[in-house]
Amino acid sequence: MSTDLRELLELASDDVPELDLAPEAWAEARRRNRAVVRRTVLGVGGVVAAGAAGLVLRERNPSPSPAPSTTTTARVAADGRLPTSVVEGITVYLAPEPPDEALLPRYPDAARLRIPRHLGPADLAIRAELGPVGGVAEPLRAVFLVVAEGGGFHPVLFAPDAPFQVEVPTVRITQGAGRQLALSPRSISDDRHRVVIPQPGSVVVLDARDGGVVTVDVPDPTLSLAGWARDRTIVVARGRDYGWLIDPRTGELRKGRSAVNPDWADLAQGDAGAELRTFSGTGELTGIRLLLGAPVVPNSTSVSNTEGWVAGGAFLPGAYQRAVERSQGLVAVHSDLPPKPRVLAAPTGPLVPKGAYRALAWGPRDVVLFESRSERAGFQGMVRRVLAWDVNEGLLFQVADIDRAAATPGEFSGIYTL
Amino acid sequence: MDDARAPQAPWPDDEFVDYVQARQHTLLRAAYLVCGDLRLAEDLLRAALVELARQWDRVREEQPDLFVRRRLYRDAVASWRHRPPAQLLESPEWLEPDEPWDADVVERRREVLRALGALTPRQRAVVVLRWFEERDEHDVADVLGCSVSTAHSEGIEALGRLRDALPRADLGAGGVR
């Protein structure tokens, strides 16, 4: 059966709210007509006739550009405090609409994060290539992938204390057909000097200090995530069906017997619902607990910290949608306590894509850094921001704007990790 | 003498209210599809309805539909001229959930909006008039102030671009009225 274009246009606009503009339009028309009469009388009286005529002209021939909308007001508290709701015992923090994110307060301890206001490799003036004389001695804060000439991606290393961002053209990462390449939240090692990047059939380990590269073959063409285990030596990689434990020093490779993860804990969807899973220092599964409260559906990579917190993106079905009319967000759970999540619910609307929130890393204290994606209104492209959610205080801050992504060689691919 | 004679009464004319209430939601959706910004669409529709109210005595017996659409669509197309070029790119990272999810509808909606965003503003206006409001090419030409042949050719080109942008949809001759 063919799809009717009208149905698609109906779908694209079916969430436009119903408004009654008739009384407002009538009142405004009446006000303007009265203003025209008053100004005309002034003109006849000879008082500032030219100016009045100009006013009347402008009044009767208004610019096509409309006046600023008065329909929306900012809903962001100066201290970043969010409105809350309780859904079946779960506290849900209601995040602001995408345009209001720019009004959030700056993260107060931003200097400690070492993340600049604008994050990305777009500024070519501060980008250099890794040369034969050495690499980046300073600790890395982020790694970006830029589009390589002829296909694939090159890493760009960002260390706040280094004078340049350093592109590594000798490393070319390929992307499997139909698979989306991603940099895991644990792509950068805990010592902040080594980077692991997956590609179909291998993982690439780059030492930023000297530019040394080790490639370890992995018999899995579907590899899409790789990160450093907490023991600082093992690389944990995941494909579509299997997990792999890799020692890049020796090239030793082992298939995980069950779920694997480089982090202390993650959130995943199991047969009985959302689970909090814990892992050993070498990335092997050590425990599973079901989350309490209204069900959530984890949908993207989690991040955990040594204090026991784990956070990740999630869908919010059923009870959440009925109670707060929001369907996705970020979920944080403490692994040492009964696994009852705290939820940051993303707004709903045409500007908010599926999977809008993605956990990036934990910051100081109980603050999780995450990416918020949204569309600019008016077909103006994608906006990506790093926001910080204090899961204890329920505060939300802005941290950085992410450079725009592009598909041309040398440009930022949109893939990065902190 | 100013031709904006209405409205004098402080309360809205019943006929005006009936007229606006019967059409405003469709017009708001149409404006949104053309300009892609709900707040802007509201402002454009509000401005068009204010003009309609000002001219109501004169227009009510004639062609209020044409009057309001001319203002709305032309302003929606013109509003685009003041904007910076857009990049329509997206983060490549996304892990699909294991189970069906009603957010697929949201994603489908965004696909359609993205496809519309790749058209020129006037092509969007033609598409919305022809296939959302189901107006014929003569009406499209009247509203947009162009020739019928231009309305026709813009529609054909827009349809081709939508087919390319929405490969999952069948926008063949059978799917388009």
The predicted pLDDT at position B17 comes to 92
Q: Provide the pLDDT for residue A364.
A: 87
Query: Would you say residue B97 lies in a domain?
Result: no
Average pLDDT over residues A217-240: 92
Asked if pLDDT for residue A53 goes beyond 50, the answer is: no
Chain B CB contacts of A376 below 8 Å: 86
Query: Which range is least confidently modeled, A335-349, B134-148, B163-177?
Result: B163-177
> CA A56: distance to chain centroid?
49
Q: What's residue A271's pLDDT?
A: 84
Q: Is residue B47 a contact partner of residue B6, using CB atoms and an 8 Å limit?
A: no
Alpha-carbon gap, residue A64 to A61, rounded angstroms: 9
Tell me the nearest-neighbour CA distance from A386 into chain B, angstroms. Answer: 13
Q: Do A2 and B174 touch (CB under 8 A)?
A: yes
Fold category of A84-417 in CATH: Neuraminidase (2.120.10)
* A282 CA: distance to closest CA in chain B (Å): 24
With respect to residue B72, please indicate whether it lies within any of the assigned structural domains. Answer: yes
Three-state helix/strand/coil letters over A146-178: EECCCCCEEEEEECCCCCCEEECCCCCECCCCC
Q: Same domain, yes or no, for B177 and B118?
A: yes
Q: How many beta-carbon pairs below 8 A join chains A and B?
A: 254
- Locate A25 and state its tokens: 């339009």
pTM: 0.66
- Counting Cα atoms < 13 Å in the Cβ hemisphere of B149 gives 0
Distance, in Å, from the CA atom of A414 to the CA atom of B88, rounded to the nearest integer, reads: 12
* Nearest chain A Cα distance for residue B152, angstroms: 16
Search chain A and give the residue with CA nearest B90.
A382
Would you state the pLDDT for residue A112? 86
Residue range B7-26: mean pLDDT, rounded:
85
- The pLDDT, as a whole number, for residue A178 is 64
Distance of residue B169 Cα from the nearest chain A Cα, in angstroms = 6
**CB proximity under 8 Å: B 122-151 to A:** 127-128, 131-132, 134
**Beta carbons of A30 and B82 less than 8 Å apart:** no
**What is the distance between the alpha carbons of residues B106 and B18, in angstroms, rounded to a whole number?**
32
**B10/A30 CB distance under 8 A:** yes
Mean pLDDT estimate for chain A: 85
Q: Strands A342-345 and A90-94, how do they pair? A: parallel
Backbone angles phi, psi at A89, to 5 degrees: 85, -5
Helices and strands, number each (H, E), in chain B: 8, 0
Question: Is residue B172 domain-shared with residue B115, that is, in the same domain?
Answer: yes
- Assign A50 a pLDDT band (cuts: 50, 70, 90): very low
pLDDT at residue number A181: 78
Model pLDDT for residues A240-264, shown as the tens digit of each residue: 889 999 999 999 999 988 889 999 9
- Does the distance separating the beta carbons of A16 and B28 come in below 8 Å? yes
- Whether B8 and A30 lie within 8 Å, measured CB to CB: yes
B63 within domain boundaries: yes
Give a yes or no: residue B96 inside a domain: no
From chain A, pick out residues whose CB is under 8 angstroms from the CB of B156. Answer: none
Q: What residue segments make up the domains of chain A, in order of their start?
A: 20-71, 84-417
pLDDT tens digits, one per residue of A88-119? 989 999 999 988 898 899 998 888 899 999 99
The answer to whether residue B94 scores a pLDDT higher than 60 is: no
Q: What is d(CA A215, CA A198) in angstroms, rounded to the nearest whole number?
A: 10
Model confidence band, residue A291 (pLDDT cutoffs 50, 70, 90): very high
3-class state of residue B115 by DSSP: helix
| Residue at which a domain ends, from B83, B112, B130 | B83
Residue A118 to residue A385: CA distance in whole angstroms? 9
Q: What is the pLDDT of residues A144-203, one digit of tens each?
A: 999 999 889 999 999 998 888 999 998 999 887 666 778 999 999 999 999 999 999 999
DSSP string, A339-365: ---EEEEPP-STT--TT-EEEEEE-ST
Q: Is residue B88 part of a domain?
A: no
Residue B12: pLDDT above 70? yes
Query: B66 and B111 in one domain?
Result: no
pLDDT higher than threshold 50 for residue A68: no
Confidence of residue A37 (pLDDT cuts 50, 70, 90): low
pLDDT band at B7 (very low <50, low <70, confident <90, very high): low
Phi, psi of A82 (to 5 degrees): -110, 150
Please tell me whether residues B108 and B159 are part of one structural domain: yes
pLDDT mean over B155-176: 79
Residue B25 lies in a domain: yes
DSSP state of B130: I
Query: Among A379, A404, A411, which would you mutate to test the B interface (most chain B Cβ atoms within 10 Å of its Cβ)?
Result: A379
Cβ pair A315:B2 closer than 8 A: no
Residue A277: its pLDDT value, please?
Answer: 94
- The closest CB to that of A373, out of B54, B87, B91, belongs to B91
Residues B75 and B108 in one domain: no
State which residues form the domain around B109.
103-177
Give percent of chain A with pLDDT exceeding 70.
Answer: 88
Does residue A243 sit in helix, strand or coil? strand
Instruction: Write down the pLDDT at residue B82.
Output: 52
Give the number of domains in chain B.
2
Do the beta carbons of residue A32 and residue B4 sit within 8 Å?
yes
pLDDT at position A71 is 33
Average pLDDT rounded to a whole number, residues A44-63: 35
The answer on B27 and B59 residing in a single domain is yes
Q: How far is A248 from chain B (nearest CA, A)?
A: 25
B156 touches chain A (CB under 8 A): no
B114/B177 same-domain check: yes
Q: Is residue B110 part of a domain?
A: yes
